[in-house]
Structure 1
Amino acid sequence: MIADSMNDETKLMLRKAFAMFDENKTGFIQTDKLLGILGSAVAEGKLTFDQFVNIVGCFMEDEDDEAMAEELKEAFRMYDKEGNGYITTQTLKEILKELDNKLTSEDLDGIIEEVDEDGSGTVDFDEFMEMMTG
């Protein structure tokens, strides 16, 4: 069996790719979803290298996004010392200043104004994620 010869990292990547298609978590994927990705290649019954790369690339992008989200979650937790689910805008200013010491007070105020849309003086993870990923 091919799966037996794969390393754990490759199997994990493939399992995550499979799970993306198995939306109902039944352990099966609908073939029409795969056929949709394959597009015209299905009519020919063959895949070019570029078509193959496009398919695999879809899975790798999602994997990268997932890894980035996890890193940002960890960074957010580090500054959310009380575990309240938010950080203060003052803490965020300090973080931004550490990341780029060329930012002026006006720059920082502008960024905070954009991020803290509701003016609560706090930034939750979703706002933080939006700021960091654009």
Structure 2
Amino acid sequence: MEAISITNSDIKSYYTCNQLAEYRQLFGTFELNKDGHITCTQLKKYLTGNYMKKSNEELEEIVNEADLSGCGRITFDNFMQLILNRDLEEKRTEIKSLFDSFDSNRDGYIDIAELSAVFFSLNSKDENQIITVFKQLDRNNDGKVDFEEFHSFMAQGDDLKL
């Protein structure tokens, strides 16, 4: 998985204060000497024992992704970046699955006919509404919606303006 450059403000805007407190508590379960860091060995041991049935290679990949400095220690910010990267990747996968359900001919685009089919399957046959939604999704106005347009719209949580 490709790491995304994330700032503390990104993390604070994505998670609630309660969620951050829960992650801080989880981080504290690894941080045995309370020095602000956890070792890669501690993280690997915890992941193996409590959450994941992963191969050594997969565990090494996770640890290397979190250990941004390469020094064998992970800060809370590194830990949160790992969690946020994984959450964003999971959300992207969910959005891709939804996009694929719209893209019935599998050409990599949603056209007005495919969007209409989805609306009709939901018993919404208002052509003006379908056109309005399509225009909101088709951000570059090329008459088709690619995955990046769809993802951008869905990831931002934009509301459809009907």
Are 1:17 and 1:59, in contact at CA under 8 Å, matched by a contact in 2?
no
Aligned-residue offset at 1:120:
2.7
Aligned length: 110
Match of 1:113 in 2: 135
Residue 126 of structure 1: aligned partner: 148
Give the TM-score normalised by the residue count of structure 1.
0.55
Unaligned runs of 5+ in 1: 22-28, 39-51
Whole-Å separation in 2 of the counterparts to 1:57 and 1:97 = 42
Matched, 1:31 2:70: yes
The answer for the alignment partner of 1:18 in structure 2 is 64
More helix by share: 1
- The 5-angstrom pairing of residues 27-66 of structure 1 reads 30-31=69-70, 38=75, 52=76, 54-66=77-89
The aligned runs of 1:95-114 (5 Å cut-off) are: 95=118, 108-114=130-136
Provide Cα deviations, 1:21-48, integer angstroms capped at 9, x if missing partner: 6xxxxxxx6537x88x85xxxxxxxxxx
- Identify the residue that residue 3 of structure 2 maps to in structure 1: none
State the shift of 1:13 in Å.
6.7
Q: 1:9 — aligned with what?
A: 52
Greater mean alpha carbon deviation, residues 90-99 or residues 70-79: 90-99
Aligned to 1:31, the other structure's residue is in SS state coil
Matches of 1:18 and 1:97 in 2, distance apart?
47
Distance 1:17 1:109 in 2: 47
